[in-house]
Chains A and B, each alone.
Chain A
Amino acid sequence: MKACIVFALAWVWSCMVSAETINPIDRKLDVCGRYEVFHINGIDTSLSAAALNLDRLALAYGNAHDGHLIHYFVAHNRSAGFLGDIQQTWLQILRDFPSLSWEIVLAVIKGFDRPEMTPAVIAEIRARFDRLNFMVPDASGPDLLYMQNQVQAYHQTGAKVLFVAHSQGTLFANTLYDVLAAGSRGYTVPAASMGIVSVANVTTGVRGAASSYVTNRKDLFVNGLRVFVSPEISPWNVDLPFTLNDPAGHNFVAVYLAFARGTIVASMQRALSQVAGTPNPMNPPISGRLTDYRLYGWGGYLDCSIGPNRHQSCPAIDTGFDMPLVRGGTAVTPPEWRPGSFDETVALANAHADSCLGYAELAWQYHRTPSFTPNIYGYRCGIDGSSSELSWIFSVLRSADSLERLTNSSFSTTTGGTGVTIRGMCRTPSA
């Protein structure tokens, strides 16, 4: 009875744990902090299954943390060596149980119970494949090097990184953590910027102060590893209900996300809140009138109607207002405040920005007229006039609360004359 009450409370709590899901147009900018979540799958997991895991995880957690959109990735590792072994085992089973088809055996291996077999036969089949389920991937060889290179390709300097690993994927997560923290392969991610949440943990512990794990008491794979491979494997810490969807109690979605969603989400929240970002190196201080902030925005203002490619179709460009020319990349010295054209702004940005990140995550100006004519143009990383960009601008401008919030967190406003200029920027740590 006590266990039932505890589980019921845990279930209610897990339903109440609200993921942070925001409208992407209200997001804070990556240059003000970036969160990356890498899901590392376990053995014998296809890319589609890993992608399903990740999408369900993203739906459970939400698309954001602390107002920033989370960048989710699958780190799909291969089950090297698994294939040859599974075939040998299969051939032996075929000799011993000639009436069984491959399809039925495969289903049993993957944790489904089948009516064609008695529980005893199912147990026998699973036992024969146990050594495969208990295989330990080579998490330090070429597979790791390849995965590290791939992670680096998507990682942006200064971002906070969380590995959410399932089963044997935790071995990769731990090793990646060690290698990246040590910088032993010429690329460093500070240990304080990384965390791990292990689901169905098969290791003796997860790396990192912000890390934790969730293991089901009835997880037959982890229990088997504990018996046959190492008794030092971390003990179970959640007791989830049995489900026919996965009698083995191991599946990422059907067991862990279905019954321990709240625990996983809370672990991720804790980890993402504790890991520390690092100063963005593409953050050159700008001298002059805006010394309080490091600016990343640049923008142009057009006095014409909204629409795609409006700078091309616009009959006239209004140059009657100040236009900040600020960029991330090489310096424009001194920063300029002067009237100018949109095309001129674009040309300057193209000349001085050296990457999308260093470029400008946000660039826009707002010109308020008595009739609130939305004469605004957004330009971001070479993508001009996207509807989401414009919608976001409007949502900010139409809401004093929102404006205040942004002002207090990471943005600044200046008011002058008939117009209001809002610049996208991040406060420096000292600001």
Chain B
Amino acid sequence: MDNRKSNVRWSLAALAVVVVILAVLLVMERPPPAIASVKSALGLQRDAPAGVPRERPICTSPVNPNVAAPTNCIPQHLANLPPDPGPAGMLTIEGIDADKDGVRDDVQRFIAETYGDSQRAVLALTGLAKLALKEVELGDSVSKEQAQTLAPEIMKAAVCFSRSVSEELINRRASELVQIKVTNTPERYERLQKFENLLAGVYPLNTAPTPEVCGYDPALLPN
């Protein structure tokens, strides 16, 4: 009798282990959006190539990528993104900006896929990214005086980010990760560093109200 009970226990335990393994495999096969975003951002997973029609409609309401993935629609923050430029986007300093929105496509996709659940984060990080891209574009082709005319805008973008997103996001160093994405080749990194050297100087902190600093009111955004 005892042996039979013991066998049942062992069988149940083995079954539980199998279930857990299967669940893990399922999660790996269909990762939650947050993981998918990271994998995609790291270039480990490519989206469908450009031109391929999307099979699902765009979700009518915002979707948090940190919760259950929608199965019947494409999250708004991932809709209408330009295609991943892949290695071709690394060939030149300026990279590829297919949708001509002023932000390199790989940077735009990284922000949307990683922080797309927060409109405040996307707007603030895009503002920082645009200026970092400008720094990369200019490098040391301008004078110190010309470079420093950009400093107040950089200060404002950083302050806007600081005041409009969650502390948790700030502590995750989202702004640094975006800058790493912007400088994702040695040449781009070098140009940003050269521009930063021109920026050496003292600048006052912008203490204007947040809407004035940002150029929009983050509090009016839904998330």
Contacts and interface: CB of A to CB of B under 8 A. Distances in A.
A428 interface: no
A153 B170 contact: no
A204 interface: no
Interface in B1-16: none
Contacts of A116: 42
A143 B176 CA distance: 25
Q: Considering residues A76, A79, A243, which has the most beta carbons from chain B within 10 angstroms of its beta carbon? A: A76
Interface string A51-63: 1101110110001
A52 B175 contact: yes
Contact of A82 (B154, B162, B193, B200): B193
Interface residues of A, number: 52
Interface stretch (B54-62, B63-71, B183-191): B183-191
B114 to A, nearest CB: 13
B161 to A, nearest CB: 7
Given A47-B151, A49-B175, A51-B158, A38 B202 contact: yes
Nearest to B172: A245
Contacts of B132: 46, 48
Contact of B158 (A55, A101, A147): A55
A410 B5 CA distance: 86
A104 B177 CA distance: 11
A32 to B, nearest CB: 20
The majority secondary structure among interface residues of chain A is helix
B155 interface: yes
B186 A102 contact: yes
B184 A102 contact: yes
A48 B131 contact: yes
B100 interface: no
Most chain-A Cβ atoms within 10 A of its Cβ — which of B42, B181, B190, B203? B203
A103 B172 contact: no
Given A52-B170, A253-B171, A258-B171, A47 B184 contact: no
Interface in B21-74: 42-43
Q: Give the interface centre of A71, A90, A101 by most chain B CB atoms within 10 Å.
A: A101
A22 interface: no
A72 B205 contact: yes
B207 interface: yes
A146 B200 contact: yes
Of A49, A71, A82, A150, most B-chain CB atoms within 10 Å = A49
A19 to B, nearest CB: 14
Contacts of A110: 176, 180
Given A47-B196, A78-B196, A78-B200, A58 B205 contact: yes
A103 B192 CA distance: 14
Contacts of A146: 200-201
Contacts of A153: 202
Interface string B150-167: 010011011101110000
A27 to B, nearest CB: 12
A78 to B, nearest CB: 4
Interface in A114-142: 115-116
A38 B184 CA distance: 31
Nearest to A80: B197
Interface residues of B, number: 43
A228 B151 CA distance: 35
A254 interface: yes
A59 B199 CA distance: 24
A254 B171 contact: yes
B112 interface: no
A99 interface: no
Given A46-B179, A112-B173, A101 B202 contact: no
Interface string A218-258: 00000000000000000000000001011000010110001
Contact of B203 (A58, A59, A76, A90): A76
Nearest to A38: B202
A154 interface: yes
A86 B185 CA distance: 13
Contacts of A115: 42
A268 interface: no
Interface string A67-84: 000011111111110110
Nearest to A56: B162
A106 interface: yes
Interface in B91-129: 128
Nearest to A69: B207
A56 B170 contact: yes
B201 A150 contact: yes
B215 interface: no
B48 to A, nearest CB: 23
Contact of B173 (A51, A63, A101, A251): A251
Contact of B163 (A47, A55, A150): A55
Nearest to A77: B200
Contacts of A59: 162-163
A246 B204 contact: no
B155 A47 contact: yes
Contact of B192 (A46, A71, A72, A150): A46
Contacts of A103: 180-181, 184-185
A77 B201 CA distance: 7
A83 B192 CA distance: 10
Given A51-B159, A59-B163, A254-B173, 12 more contacts: A48-B154, A59-B162, A72-B204, A74-B205, A76-B202, A78-B200, A83-B194, A86-B189, A102-B185, A110-B180, A253-B171, A253-B173
10 contacts: A48-B132, A51-B203, A52-B175, A55-B158, A55-B159, A73-B204, A73-B205, A76-B199, A104-B42, A147-B201
Q: Which 7 A-B pairs have the closest CB atoms?
A: A51-B158, A150-B202, A72-B205, A103-B184, A78-B200, A55-B162, A78-B197
Interface of A: 38, 46-49, 51-52, 54-56, 58-59, 63, 71-80, 82-83, 86-87, 90, 101-104, 106-107, 110, 112, 115-116, 143, 146-147, 150-151, 153-154, 243, 245-246, 251, 253-254, 258
